[in-house]
Chain A
Amino acid sequence: MTTQSTTTPSTVYTPAAGALSAVLSADEQPTRPSALAASMAFGWRAMLKIKHVPEQLFDVTAFPIMMTLMFTYLFGGALAGNTTDYLQYLLPGIMVMSVVMITMYTGVGVNTDIEKGVFDRFRTLPIWRPAALVGAILGDVFRYTIASTTILLLGLILGFRPAGGVIGVLAGVGLLVAFSFAFSWIWTMFGLFLRSEKSVMGVSMMVLFPMTFLSNVFVRPVTMPGWLQGFVEVNPIAHLVAAVRGLMYGEPDSYEITWTLVSGGVILLVFGALTMRLYNRK
């Protein structure tokens, strides 16, 4: 970063009628961009923000590393006798948990954008309406991929040996990232709806903690009381974990994969629609 902050230009600016008129009467009249082009432009913006504020990658690297190390060594001995055996069970789960928890920053990002007023300009552009949000989430998808890769590499170093091989692992990460894309729309809704960044964080935690912990991430649900098993049975995160595990173990479970794709699709439709309704009425 440069140390100089606001520097006064060496020469005083005087608006030149010639130069300004020339840009105003430019003959090149662009045509309205496609939905994809507009979303990609906003995705590029998200990448630029990572370039200028690289600290935000801390959340998607340090946090997952901490989670993986902490839970592997905390529970490994007690639950599986040794940490290497437990890691085979835990790694897909902790990967899902970390990435799903990171999705909440989507809402925080949307909320900050609105406060700064830059969304006002985007909302007055004649473009496909969801583009700004889709683009922001595309940037987040990049972050989810980094987080998944970080955990996977750490896991491999610690002794995680997935039977599904490269294909199985890639399919698992792909399913996780796709589901997280859909899941992020819950947070765009809250980001538009709630007043402050703090309340977005608060609500996200309230939803994410039970959804990720009350699942099959750490332990097999058969060890839980019946009522809790009932909750895990309908928790989409638990199905996602089961599906990712299946893919990584080389035993794809079509029931769990279908469950995940359908629940992701429903979340995307419902919260995408609610988000756009709020976005248009804000």
Chain B
Amino acid sequence: MSDSANGLAIETKGLVKTFGKTRAVDGVDLAVPAGTVYGVLGPNGAGKTTAVRVLATLLRPDGGEARVFGHDVLTEADAVRSRVSLTGQYASVDEDLTGLENLILLGRLVGHRKAGAKRRAEQLLDAFGLAEAAGRQVKKYSGGMRRRIDIAASIIKTPDVLFLDEPTTGLDPRSRNQVWDIIRIIVAQGTTVLLTTQYLDEADNLAGRIAVIDHGKVIAEGTPGELKASVGSGSVHVRLRDAGQRDEAERVLSASLAIGVNLDADPVALTARVDGNGGGAAEQASRALAALAGAGIVVDEFSLGQPSLDEVFLALTDHPATDDAEKEAVA
């Protein structure tokens, strides 16, 4: 790891990847410090996966440059490949083979001899709680188990950089927590992790720095703290019993929080961002609740949560995080 003079595991400058007329990645600059988790946050179609595939040498960039530990992904692809590992969005193991066979195959491909590959495979299956499922075909694994065998396959040889492309999309909460724990352990051992996600709380929980991507461009970059400061630290969600009281509730909330309130699609629901200025977010929220009660408005549900990706996007771009497929059809 001595070959990156500036302490960066990944560095891109003006990276561009186009598919026909679509600029999937449109001038992205990234600087990922070695030994950290770096989050790339964005909606479907923002260009996250494309950027990761360029960095993992699966796609050739059309412009700009990208380096992994100082090695250019285009001209030194082989050197990059010996440092990185990718867990894609879709199963990147052979579903027809058993868990054990998959890991032995990859063990042999990174250079273990037969016995060594088997030993390594068994170690990994044990560590990932898959020993019992070792002899079963991967297509018969549950979603959580499949993710784990995918990650195990990625660390068959401990990589210096691990790309995790939406590692928790579609997982149940328990499996998601397991994946989070695994990521924390991997990064604690010195591997740099580049994680793409659609969930702000995931990036917030794991990443040291986050880049928010939209339409192939980085629209915000910083620590989770900096990012949240720019979008507000939380949001208050209110559900009323009576839809007729919503206008009144909006007025009361705006007055007590002194910020704009959004009317949700649900006719009895409202959302407001609280930024933590003038007391903590919780204090502001409780003041708002008291004001609603004082005005005689019946509240069925009240919650204070982190801003959703939609709200982050509203704050940063003035448009919600929508799937880009429709937008391209219009443009």
Contacts and interface: CB of A to CB of B under 8 A. Distances in A.
Interface of A: 2, 5-6, 8-10, 12-17, 19-26, 28-33, 37-38, 41-42, 44-45, 48-49, 52-53, 116-118, 120-127, 131, 281-282
19 contacts: A9-B132, A13-B144, A14-B129, A15-B128, A15-B178, A15-B181, A26-B120, A30-B107, A32-B82, A32-B111, A33-B110, A33-B111, A37-B108, A42-B109, A116-B94, A120-B56, A121-B86, A124-B58, A125-B106
A15 B185 contact: yes
B81 A125 contact: yes
A117 B92 contact: yes
Contacts of B118: none
Contacts, number: 145
A33 B145 CA distance: 29
B140 interface: yes
B116 A28 contact: yes
Please indicate which of the listed interface residues A14, A23, A28, A44 has the most CB atoms of chain B within 10 Å of its own CB: A23
Contact of B189 (A12, A21, A124): A21
A43 B288 CA distance: 67
B29 interface: no
Interface string B29-63: 00000000000000000000000010011101000
Contacts of B168: none
B24 to A, nearest CB: 15
Contacts of A16: 127
A123 B84 CA distance: 12
A110 B286 CA distance: 60
B117 to A, nearest CB: 9
Which of A30, A33, A37, A53 has the most CB atoms of chain B within a 10 A radius of its CB? A30
A33 B109 contact: yes
- Closest 5 pairs between A and B when the two form their complex, measured CB to CB: A13-B129, A30-B111, A126-B82, A117-B90, A126-B81
A185 to B, nearest CB: 21
Contact of A124 (B57, B91, B107, B133): B57
Contacts of A44: 105, 108
Contacts of B109: 33, 38, 41-42, 122, 125, 127, 131
B219 to A, nearest CB: 27
A42 to B, nearest CB: 8
A31 B123 CA distance: 19
Interface stretch (B7-15, B153-161, B221-229, B241-249): B153-161
Given A13-B148, A30-B157, A120-B86, A23 B127 contact: yes
B155 A24 contact: yes
A124 B82 CA distance: 8
Interface in B143-177: 144-145, 148, 153, 155, 157-158, 174
B94 A45 contact: yes
A21 B185 contact: yes
A52 B123 contact: no
Contacts of B58: 120, 123-124, 282
